[in-house]
Structure 1
Amino acid sequence: MCVNEINMEKDTMDKGPCFGSRHVQMILYFLLNMFSYALRSVLSVAIVAMNDRKITKNQNIPSYLWDDQSVILSSFYWGYVVCQLPAAYFGKKYGVKWILVGSTILDSLSCILIPTMATLLGSKGVILCRVSQGLAQGFLLPSVHTLLGHWAPPTERSRIGTFAYAGGVFGTILSMSVTGLICSGWLGWPFSFYIWGAFGLSWSFIWMIFGFDCPRTHNSICEKERDYIEKSLGQTEKKYRAVPWKGIFKSSPVWALIVTNAGINWGSTVLLTQTPTYLSKILKFDIKANALLSSSPYLAMWILSFLFSTICDWIINNNWVTRGVARKIFNSIGTICPAIGLLYLGFVTNAYMAVLILVLVGGTIGAGFCGFQVNHIDLSPNHSGVLMGLTNGFTSTFSIVSPLVVQFVVTDQTNQSQWMTIFMITAAVYALTDIVFICLASGEVQDWNESDEKTESSTNRISNNNA
């Protein structure tokens, strides 16, 4: 059955229960992203307390004077880059359930070990833990995209994909706000790593019981819901398909995703890793206020992402615009608006106005979830995880480079003009990458999505891994 025929029939299908198995899976993806991003962002706040004894009430908590803080913050991405494509390949071939269990446990234990490694090996020990965390989280996005390719019907794709990835935003909010309170209290900064690591471990045990790779391997899914999901995706006979590398690398929409992902990685890394320092050194907020204000852009992003995704699905399903045009509209909101906000931020001297701009920047970035983020699944439901591994793997190098550029440019963290330069560079990156996306992106399933099928069914392989 062709894609158009599938699209014509999907609205008349019985979708099963209002709250079905696919919704349970989406909650698990939300929680996975929430804990993973909490583990990723905790150091951005804690590192301030780790290098300032006056912040923590308990003077027995160790403190350090590290001059390589930007290197420490960027080291997460050294490992993160390495595992993207291997994660996508093995997840597609064998299923991602147990891959996610192993990677989450490694991520959580590495976080828990940070205080011990800081005491034993100083900043180098923290870097080792962060590289290990990066290796583990390199499996995250390709795996989630592979799962969404099996579980997210096209008419619900923007909402389901946004809900799953909004977990990362919510995790950042929790981590940055709660970590600041912990660091300033009697337990001090080490406890923040212990608590988030424990939460990460708890998710891995929940996933062992309730997580499934696809509807066909789920042991209690309603038959009507399973048929609805598989037929809407055209996957009634899901078999292993070889990755069409030639078609992927010759595809202009894929290159649009690569370029756009580069810009988003640059901008989000600057926002995540540098906002606490900027608020502390330029706007003179203490660690408690710093943590809460640093998380405020992510709160706006989290709230508005649901609004943007609902509107996006609504205009697509009502045929107001094509899927590709909708992706371009919301991607532009998620890049051009932050670019304008960051340009203005560099010239602002009023602290409250600066915080308001950061909130608006964060809120509009939420539109990108239903722009470039879910566009991988639009182009190729069968290979969406591979596409995410490819685009995010190649472009995560920008997440390594941006903190190093900040360290090179901002030689004096109290100099606002140097920060202005960083904001201008980031705004330019946002704008240029969005232009590429507008020119080259597409919302249609690509011809190479249906590659030659091999004889061994991936469902059988995945079933063995779920057993």
Structure 2
Amino acid sequence: MSTQEKIDLDLNKPKPGLGFRHVQTILLFFGLLLAYCMRVNMSMAIVAMTDGSENSFDWSIQIQSVILSSFFWGYVVLQIPGGELAAKFGGKLLFCLCVGINSATSICIPISAYYGGWQLVCACRVIQGLSQGFLYPSIHTLIGKWVPLEEKTSLGTLIYAGSHLGTALELSAAGLIAEYWGWPAIFYVIGTLGVIWTTIYIFVGASSPEESRLISDAERNYIHESLGHVVGRKKLRTPWKSLFTSLPFISLLIVHCGQNWGFWTLMTEIPSYMNQVLGVNMKSNGLMSALPYLSMFLLSFPFGFFSNYVLNKKWLSTTTTRKICNSIGLFGPALALIALCYTPADVTITVIMLTLVVGLNAGHIMGFMTDPKEWHKIFYLASIIYIIANIIFLIFGSAELQTWNEPNESENKNTTDEALEKVEKVI
């Protein structure tokens, strides 16, 4: 073997230890953490903003519910366009816009509340929701460019865990911040941290290894070799008709919507439930509201690694493994929420039950009634949605690659011809 061949072989070997891809992983982790902090901070802040103190507002329960839901009005708009834009312009730009706009808007929320009332606060939350529509499309794109296949489980799990930890940290810290510095500081602190992260990411982050000036050639080659990058690869047409007539895809869409219904219901309303039904003070409220999401953060690692271990050992098929994990994540919380309706309105019991619900990947309470029996309707509704959504997934879901996911022969030929033309031009 020649010296050059040995060098080429060495460049393509997996590189042990830390690399620049790990720097990107940490940046994505903290970016997702901060995005979720800004997503959920209103859940805690609104309790302090309406507590009847000197700097609070006389907003009805209905207005509070409108404010809490306004984030999601914008959030649903840019999900699919966000994916298309990330593929065209790269994940870095969209991720910067997401965290940067959220940070600037977060800093503006206290002023908006004082001078524009709840209407302007809603407008700010809609803007934050719109920009966070870019969050997951950009994250998915960046992971697809930066994380080698051999490290997908470990690095991917770490990145996505930022959302759970961000939720837990914000809920716990917000109560303390409001207690000592006042509720406006909740928005100022996280907004400032977001601006700092955005500035760092602009200079250190990159949409892909080939766009980075800080990564080594060896690591870049390793990532490309692992991901099987091909010269001349182009974006293929999305088979929309086949996609939306595919039962496995539709079942996945339904079960994801069902999971999100429960998760975001509890995410938004746990602090209000703690305050209005259980009478928990602001400082304790934040810590107790954070416990379920801290459990979710901690459980995400063993669940992820266990699933990967089962698949590597070939004990179960990918489809069966996914359905078992999903059943734990939806049937478990559904049963826990039903049980919560029959337990006394006791702080300790409620916190334990909610920790079980969210720890199993559950949801949150999006209601505006303060009577505990009225909240039961919300628990039952979330439980029913969990159960129905997962049953549909169990019947029609599949982890098998669908035929419509593969390009047809003519598209393959065109891509290959274009690649050869580019190579010939270079030669």
Does the alignment reach a TM-score above 0.5? Answer: yes
> What are the superposed Cα offsets for residues 409-438 of structure 1, whole Å, 9 maximum, x if unpaired?
x3xx0x211111111110111111111222
Give the corresponding residue for 1:430. 386
1:344–1:36 Cα change, 3 Å: same
Match of 2:191 among 188, 194, 197: 197
How far, CA to CA, are the matches of 2:211 and 2:396 in structure 1?
Answer: 36
Q: Structure 1 counterpart of 2:35, which letter? A: S
Structure 1 residues 321 and 195 mapped into 2: Cα distance closer, same or farther (>3 Å)?
same
Whole-Å Cα distance in 2 between the matches of residues 190 and 46 of structure 1? 8
- Encode CA deviations 1:166-208: one digit per residue, 9 max, x unaligned: 10111111111111111112x2001110111111111211211
Give the structure-2-normalised TM-score. Answer: 0.87
The CA distance in 1 between the partners of 2:16 and 2:320, in whole Å, is 31
Query: In the alignment, is residue 417 of structure 1 matched against residue 373 of structure 2?
Result: yes
Instruction: Determine the C-alpha separation between the residues in 2 that align with 1:358 and 1:26.
Output: 30
1: CA distance between counterparts of 2:14 and 2:114? 55
Q: Aligned to 1:440, which of 349, 374, 396?
A: 396
Q: Which whole-Å CA distance do the structure 1 matches of 2:239 and 2:40 have between them? A: 35
Shift of 1:70: 0.6
Higher relative contact order, chain-length normalized (CA < 8 Å, sep 6+) = 1
Which one of 210, 226, 238 corresponds to residue 216 of structure 1? 210
- Paired AA for residue 188 in structure 2: Y
One-letter code aligned to 1:147:
L
Q: CA deviation at 1:224?
A: 4.8
Give the structure 1 partner of residue 29 of structure 2. 30
- Of 299, 319, 323, which aligns to 1:324? 319
Does the 8 Å CA contact 1:297/1:360 hold for their aligned counterparts? yes
Q: Are residue 88 (structure 1) and residue 83 (structure 2) matched?
A: yes
User: Where does 1:62-211 land on structure 2 (aligned, <5 Å)?
Assistant: 62-67=56-61, 68-185=63-180, 187-211=181-205
Following superposition, the deviation at residue 444 of structure 1 comes to: 3.2
CA shift for structure 1 position 145: 1.4
Q: 1:340 aligns with which of 335, 344, 347?
A: 335
CA distance in 2, matches of 1:279, 1:264: 22
1:215 counterpart letter in structure 2: P
Equivalent in the alignment of 2:227: 233
Partner amino acid, structure 2, of 1:436: I
> What displacement does 1:62 show?
4.3
**2:278 corresponds to which of 269, 283, 296:** 283
- Please, what TM-score do these two structures have when normalized by structure 1? 0.80
Give the conservation status (yes or no) of the 8 Å contact 2:95–2:139.
Answer: no
- Between the aligned partners of 1:167 and 1:269, the Cα distance in structure 2 is 16
- The reply to whether residue 273 of structure 1 matches residue 268 of structure 2 is yes
Q: CA RMSD in A?
A: 2.3
Query: Percentage identity across aligned positions?
Result: 39
How far did residue 227 of structure 1 move?
4.2
Find out whether 1:356 has 2:367 as its counterpart: no
Q: Could you say what secondary structure the match of 1:122 adopts?
A: helix
Question: Aligned in 2, Cα 1:146/1:202: closer, same or farther, shift over 3 Å?
Answer: same
Q: CA offset at residue 333 of structure 1? A: 1.4
Deviation at 1:143, TM superposition (A): 1.2
Of the structure 1 ranges 294-303 and 353-362, higher mean CA displacement relative to structure 2 is found in 353-362
Cα distance, 1:228–1:326 mapped onto 2, change above 3 Å = farther
Alignment of 1:378-397 (within 5 A): none
CA–CA distance in structure 2, aligned partners of residues 236 and 364 of structure 1: 40
Distance 2:160 2:176 in 1: 25
Once the two structures are superposed, what CA deviation does each residue of 1:69-115 show, in whole Å capped at 9, x if it has no partner?
11110000111111111111111122121122223211111111111
Q: 2:263·2:358 contact (CA, 8 Å) conserved in 1?
A: no
Q: How many residues align?
A: 400
* Equivalent position of 1:365 in the other structure: 361
- Pair 1:255 & 2:211 matched: no
440 and 132 in structure 1: CA distance in 2 versus 1, 3 angstrom threshold: same
Q: Aligned-pair distance for 1:49?
A: 0.7
Look up the equivalent residue of 1:196 and give its one-letter code. Answer: I
Q: In 1, Cα distance between the equivalents of 2:316 and 2:222?
A: 24
